[in-house]
Amino acid sequence: MKNEKLWYLVNSLLMISLTIAACSPSVSTPPAPLPSALPAPSAISTQTSEPTLAAMPTSEAPAEATLATATAAVQSFDVNGHSLYIQCLGNGSPTIVLETGEGGTISDVAGLQKLLATRTTTCAYDRAITGSLRTAKDVIDDLHALLAAAHVPGPYLLVGHSAGGMFVQLYARTFPDQVAGVVAMNPVPPAHPWLDEVSKVFTAQEYTDEQSYYQGQNGESFDYLTSNEQLTAAPKPPAVPFEMLISTDAQCEDSTGPCMKSYPIYERIMHEVAAAWPHGNFSQVAASHEIYLDHPDAVVATVERVLASP
C-alpha cells in the first residue's frame, strides 16, 4: 500500500512538470544579423539561365546612376564559346551600347557610362580576349549574341571608340533593324584607302609598322585587313543618325612623327566615311585620342544629338 502511494505521488509530480514545460514560452536562437553590404559585382555568380536585366541584383550601383533610377550589375554569359561580361545602368530607350578601343574594359568607360545612364539605358561589356587573330565580324557576332542572351532591349544606339568605332559601323550595317543611331569616336580608318595614302608620307619603317598593325600586331590581335573587307562587303549604311567625332591634330604628341604626317589624310578619310551615311555628321574636338576621357561632355552632346533625332 505504501508503495502504491509512493508511485502515485511520483507520477503526479511528473505530470505536473510536463504540464509546466508545455505552457512555458519557447526560447529560440536569435536570427543571424543581415550582411552589412551587398556583394561586389565580381562576386555575383555566373548566370547561365539567361535572366532578364530587370532581374539582375542591385550590386553596389554607383550613386550617380540613381539619377536614372538605375539597376547596376555585372553578369557573365556564355556566348560563342566565350564568357562575356556586361553591365547596364539607367532606364529608357534606345539602349546605348558602348564599344571600347583596343584593350578597353567596362572600367575604362565607367565615367562615360554613368553620364549617359542619366539619359537612357547604357550598357558596356568586355570583349573576348582569345590571343588569336580576330575580325570585326567576330566581335559583332559576339555582341549580337550577348545582347540577345542578356535580354538587352533594343533599339541600340551604338557608341564606339577607336577599334570600337569600326565595329559599331559594321554592326549597324549588318543588323540595321536593331540600330537607332551610331557614334564613332576616332575610329580605326578603313585599310584602303588609308594604307595607300599613308605610304606616300611615311618612311619605309613607319609604313612597315603600319602594315604590321593592320595585319594583327596590335593591342587585341585584330585583323584589320580582313575587317576592312568585311566592312566593304556589308550592306550600305542604314538611314539612321551617324555621328563621326574625331580629335583635332592636338592628339598628335610628336609634331614630326607619323601621327602629324598622316593627320590630314585621316581627317579627309573620316569626312568621306561620314558622308557615306545617309544621315552622317562630322565634328571635331581638341582632345587626345581618348575623347571620352578628355571631353566626356563633347561625347554626351554628340549622343544627345542622336537621341533628339526624329
Structural domains of the chain, with CATH? 51-308 (3.40.50.1820)
Per-residue model confidence as pLDDT tens digits over 107-133:
999 999 999 999 999 999 999 989 899
As a whole number, mean pLDDT of residues 169-186 equals 98
What pLDDT does residue 71 have?
52
CA-closest candidate to residue 86, choices 137, 41, 132, 49: 41
Residue 26 is placed in which grid cell?
519557447
What pLDDT does residue 37 have?
30
As to burial, measured by CB atoms within 10 angstroms (0-12 exposed, 13-18 middle, 19+ buried), residue 274 is: buried
As to burial, measured by CB atoms within 10 angstroms (0-12 exposed, 13-18 middle, 19+ buried), residue 135 is: buried
What pLDDT does residue 299 have?
98
What pLDDT does residue 72 have?
56
Q: Rounded to a whole number, what is the largest CA-CA distance in the chain? A: 127
What pLDDT does residue 3 have?
42
Collapsing DSSP to helix, strand or coil, 13 comes out as helix
Sign of CA dihedral 169, 136, 48, 86: negative
Per-residue model confidence as pLDDT tens digits over 71-106:
556 799 999 999 999 999 999 999 999 999 999 999
Say if strands 241-247 and 279-285 run parallel, antiparallel, or are unpaired: parallel
Per-residue model confidence as pLDDT tens digits over 265-277:
999 999 999 999 9
What pLDDT does residue 293 have?
96
CA-closest candidate to residue 242, choices 170, 152, 138: 170
* DSSP code, position 106: G
What pLDDT does residue 6 have?
41
Measure CA 193 to chain center: 30
Instruction: State the average pLDDT for the chain.
Output: 82
User: Sorting pLDDT into bands at 50, 70 and 90, what band is 138?
Assistant: very high
Residue 243 is placed in which grid cell?
555621328
Give the DSSP H or E segment for 183.
strand 179-185
> CA dihedral in degrees (260, 263, 265, 269; nearest 10)?
160
Sign of CA dihedral 283, 289, 290, 296: negative
Per-residue model confidence as pLDDT tens digits over 207-239:
999 999 999 999 999 999 999 999 999 999 999
What pLDDT does residue 73 have?
62
